[in-house]
Amino acid sequence: MCGIVGYIGQQSLLDILLQGLKRLEYRGYDSSGAAWIEPGEALRVVRAVGEVRHLESKVSETDCYAGAGIAHTRWATHGSPTEENAHPHTDQSGKIAIVHNGIVENHDALRETMLSHGVRFTSETDSEVVAQLIGYYYSHNHGFEESVRKTVQKIEGAFGLAVLCLDEPDKLIAARRGSSMIIGIGAAEHIIASDMAAIVQHTSRVVHLDDNEIAVFADGGFHTSTFDRQHVDKEIEVVDMEVQEMELGHFEHYMLKEIHEQPRCLHDTLSGRIDLRNGRARIAGLEELHREIAKVRQIVMLGCGTAWHAGMIGQYLIEELARIPCDIQYSSEFRYRNPLVREGTLAIVVSQSGETADTLAAMEEVRLRGATCFGIINTVGSRISRETDAGVYLRAGQEVGVASTKAFTAQVALLAVLAAELGRRRHLSMDRCASFLEELHVIPEKLERILGKASAIRELTSRFVDHDHWLYLGRGVNFPVALEGALKLKEISYIHAEGMPAAEMKHGPIALIEPGMPVVFVAPRDHLHQKVLANIQEVTGRGGEVIAICTEGDRRMRELTDHIIEIPETEPMLSPILSVVPLQLMAYEAALLRGHNVDKPRNLAKSVTVE
Ligand code: M6R
């Protein structure tokens, strides 16, 4: 998705802007650009299609001034990814430059009005309307700040904005409604960005701009106010994020790095949160909701993509351990339904980024109907994390790879802890809960053992990588793992893959099976194992090639197929944390073998902040 960086201070402006844009590359984009005011008082705008390095090559060494500047990575929504549509956009007079994240919903009406005033547009974007509107007010004798204030009150929809004005070269203005905007505070310098990743190497002291707020930077400081000029005192937060989280280290790709980080992440996720002696979980956010939790009669899980898959595993866990009715819902569907939300509903909102537009909207809808919202979020300070009633952070560290990996296993681990604690407060005995949590506690070591099989997984993947259609099957808690495996394969290797419950195959999809077709079974030993073995025979009987993720020492599985990846024995409800890892590695290897850019898959963005 789009990314914003802005800087005002005494360092080399373009270096900082370009570095910032590179940090935001992981979010997904198709063009980029920067604007700054040259000492000779000209507004310079440079834009390029494709990677940030294309922009970099258009900027000459002599362009490195201090001062104020703005930059952007664009993920096309309105208008194709061309140089004209890339940001920054300027107004007709060439005095105002803006970068914008989000969508201006009333852009058609605003454009019509501007056209009737004789304004000429140069792009197909909704964002240019913002630049033209600020310019229109400015040309009618409203000051720079006032013109921005007037404009943000006219725009409908979501935005994060950064604005420059040629006549006030030492000023930078940022504004936000519904789209993240963070202010990094340095020594007499400020860097603003839509994402911590662009700030972390400069400072750990940040301020989060809230909705309907404006920040004006000038004279080495800044002040914040609401759109209607009420002063707002902002609290400075110190963010615990290391630059190394954004570095590749010795890994070739972020996705691979993040797959290998999973044992450590899980250790961090669980650290201090499980009390093995008493078979209890310690989650501060749960304590905050102590009263509400005691009255919970129904749980709704909300999420998208991988977070939705984790939520589905959470649904199985909560029903099994806590015996609370639990439903998983796609955020994008839930937000437009007319859902029945009964009294005593707890909404568990799962999101790695904490920025996903559909999940945010679904959360607002469920809250409107009286539910209490609990967040399971990775990104500290993100919008969803700030708007839930309480919640828990994954502590998985920054996830850069577009294909979510370590966030998924951390989400499942936290949902397991949550389910166990909800169970303890109802029917679950101390012994049963303690043994469940003990098993969770040793999962990171077991996961290390699976990572040791990376080369065998590579070899196995290479045998099937030329097939264009794959099926992923599982039953019970392994069904969402099958869905997740299929999603991983399609999003980075562009191979068509479908996940489904193994028993559903006979209701139609079995017609697809032909000799040689790869069919991945997520089949660790559990109470449904015999039934899964029968499903496997249905596939092999029709010539399908079964790849099985099974428990170590499963002799029957060895008789049925040559293609197996063994995972250590564990509590069956926790097996998704292990069984997903070979699927992540298979997807990674398949993408590499097919020659794709694993970390920047086509058409995808890391966080989907628009509808
Ligand atoms: O940041 P979120 O967890 O809310 O993101 C949800 C999905 O967009 C995300 O999981 C997406 O499906 C990933 N690319 C999957 O790898």
Structure tokens at 11: 């360092």
- Please tell me the predicted confidence (pLDDT) of residue 78: 78
Does any ligand 1 atom lie closer than 6 A to the CB of residue 92?
no
- Please tell me the predicted confidence (pLDDT) of residue 239: 81
Does any ligand 1 atom lie closer than 6 A to the CB of residue 307?
yes
Q: Name the β-bridge partners of 565.
A: 549
Beta strands in 188-325 (DSSP E): 190-193, 205-208, 213-218, 221-226, 237-238, 274-275, 280-281, 298-303
In terms of DSSP bridges, do strands 563-567 and 545-551 run parallel, antiparallel, or are they unpaired? parallel
81-85, 276-280, 318-322, 598-602: range with highest mean pLDDT: 318-322
- Please tell me the predicted confidence (pLDDT) of residue 196: 87
What is the CATH code of the structural domain delimited by 3-244? 3.60.20.10
Q: Nearest-CA neighbor of 502 among 483, 527, 525? A: 483
- Please tell me the predicted confidence (pLDDT) of residue 411: 98
Just list the catalytic residues: 2, 606
Does any ligand 1 atom lie closer than 6 A to the CB of residue 304?
yes
- Please tell me the predicted confidence (pLDDT) of residue 40: 72
Instruction: For helices 128-139 and 107-116, give the axis angle rounded to 10 degrees.
Output: 40
**Which class for 69: exposed (0-12), middle (13-18), buried (19 or more C-beta within 10 A)?**
buried
pLDDT in tens, 32-60: 999 998 877 789 999 999 889 999 988 87
Which of 304, 583, 588, 600 is the pocket-test mutation for ligand 1 (most atoms within 8 Å of CB)? 304
pLDDT in tens, 203-257: 999 999 988 999 999 999 999 999 999 999 999 988 877 766 777 888 999 999 9
- Per-residue confidence at 91, pLDDT binned at 50, 70, 90? very high
- Please tell me the predicted confidence (pLDDT) of residue 606: 78
Q: Which residue has the higher pLDDT, 348 or 355?
A: 348
Does any ligand 1 atom lie closer than 6 A to the CB of residue 609?
no
- Please tell me the predicted confidence (pLDDT) of residue 63: 66
Alpha carbon of 365 to ligand 1 centroid (Å): 20
Is 557 within 8 Å of 539 (Cβ atoms)? no
Does any ligand 1 atom lie closer than 6 A to the CB of residue 566?
no
Q: Is residue 92 pLDDT above 70, yes or no?
A: yes
Which of 180, 301, 334, 352 is the pocket-test mutation for ligand 1 (most atoms within 8 Å of CB)? 352
Single-letter code of the amino acid located at 14: L
**Per-residue DSSP letter, 27:** G
Angle at 455 between CA 454 and CA 459, to 5 degrees: 120
List the single range of 76-80, 262-266, 334-338, 440-444 with lowest mean pLDDT: 76-80
Distance CA 443, CA 445 (A): 5
Q: Nearest-CA neighbor of 447 among 269, 308, 606? A: 269
Does any ligand 1 atom lie closer than 6 A to the CB of residue 25?
no
- Please tell me the predicted confidence (pLDDT) of residue 571: 96
- Residue 439 neighbours by CB under 8 Å, 6+ apart: 570, 571, 574
> Looking at ligand 1, which residue's alpha carbon is closest to its atom 9?
305
Angle at 82 between CA 79 and CA 85, to 5 degrees: 55
Count other C-beta atoms under 10 Å from residue 368's C-beta.
9
Calculate the average pLDDT of the chain.
93
Distance CA 262, CA 268 (A): 10
Structure tokens at 327: 């439903």
Distance CA 197, CA 381 (A): 13
The ligand 1 atom at the shortest distance from the C-alpha of residue 608 is: 8
Alpha carbon of 306 to ligand 1 centroid (Å): 5
Q: What percent of the chain has pLDDT over 90?
A: 80
Tokens 């003990």: give the residue.
Answer: 438
What is the value of pTM for the model shown?
0.82
Alpha carbon of 20 to ligand 1 centroid (Å): 23
Does any ligand 1 atom lie closer than 6 A to the CB of residue 353?
yes
SS (H, E, C) 309-355: HHHHHHHHHHHHHHCCCEEEEEHHHHCCCCCCCCCCEEEEEEECCCC
Q: Nearest-CA neighbor of 499 among 476, 526, 523, 470? A: 470
Instruction: For helices 144-154 and 128-139, give the axis angle rounded to 10 degrees.
Output: 130
Distance CA 207, CA 192 (A): 9
pLDDT in tens, 391-402: 999 999 989 899
Is 500 within 8 Å of 481 (Cβ atoms)? no
SS (H, E, C) 480-511: HHHHHHHHHHHHHHCCEEEEEEHHHHHHCHHH
Would you give the distance in Å from CA 299 to the centre of its chain?
A: 23
According to CATH, where is 3.60.20.10 located in the chain?
3-244
> Looking at ligand 1, which residue's alpha carbon is closest to its atom 8?
305
Q: Nearest-CA neighbor of 440 among 573, 567, 322, 351? A: 573
Q: Is residue 62 pLDDT above 70, yes or no?
A: no
Alpha carbon of 309 to ligand 1 centroid (Å): 10
272, containing H or E segment: none
Q: Is residue 29 pLDDT above 90, yes or no?
A: no
Alpha carbon of 140 to ligand 1 centroid (Å): 44
Structure tokens at 565: 């990846």
- Per-residue confidence at 86, pLDDT binned at 50, 70, 90? very high
Count other C-beta atoms under 10 Å from residue 555's C-beta.
7
Is 25 within 8 Å of 600 (Cβ atoms)? yes
**Per-residue DSSP letter, 51:** S
Count other C-beta atoms under 10 Å from residue 327's C-beta.
16
> Looking at ligand 1, which residue's alpha carbon is closest to its atom 11?
305
The mean pLDDT value for 54-75 works out to: 84
The ligand 1 atom at the shortest distance from the C-alpha of residue 384 is: 4
Does any ligand 1 atom lie closer than 6 A to the CB of residue 356?
yes
Distance CA 43, CA 94 (A): 7
Distance CA 518, CA 465 (A): 9
Single-letter code of the amino acid located at 409: T
- Per-residue confidence at 180, pLDDT binned at 50, 70, 90? confident
Per-position DSSP letters for 429-485, written without gaps between them: -HHHHHHHHHHHHHHHHHHHHHHTTHHHHHHHHHHHTT-SEEEEEE-TTHHHHHHHH
pLDDT in tens, 438-487: 999 999 999 999 999 999 999 999 999 999 999 999 999 999 999 999 99
Alpha carbon of 583 to ligand 1 centroid (Å): 17
According to CATH, where is 3.40.50.10490 located in the chain?
250-441, 451-597
Distance CA 592, CA 604 (A): 17
Is 212 within 8 Å of 246 (Cβ atoms)? no
Does any ligand 1 atom lie closer than 6 A to the CB of residue 402?
yes
Fold exhibited by the domain 451-597: Rossmann fold (3.40.50)
Question: Which CATH architecture group holds 250-441?
Answer: 3-Layer(aba) Sandwich (3.40)
Q: Nearest-CA neighbor of 522 among 553, 564, 481? A: 481
pLDDT in tens, 116-130: 999 999 998 999 999
pLDDT in tens, 558-584: 999 999 999 999 999 999 999 999 999
Structure tokens at 273: 């949160």
- Please tell me the predicted confidence (pLDDT) of residue 65: 73
Q: Which residue has the higher pLDDT, 180 or 232?
A: 232
Distance CA 149, CA 540 (A): 66
Structure tokens at 561: 């197929």
Instruction: Give the 3-state secondary structure of residue 531.
Output: helix
- Per-residue confidence at 586, pLDDT binned at 50, 70, 90? very high
pLDDT in tens, 400-435: 899 999 999 999 999 999 999 999 999 899 999 999
The ligand 1 atom at the shortest distance from the C-alpha of residue 402 is: 14
Longest dimension (CA), the chain: 82
The ligand 1 atom at the shortest distance from the C-alpha of residue 404 is: 16
**Per-residue DSSP letter, 127:** T
- Per-residue confidence at 61, pLDDT binned at 50, 70, 90? low
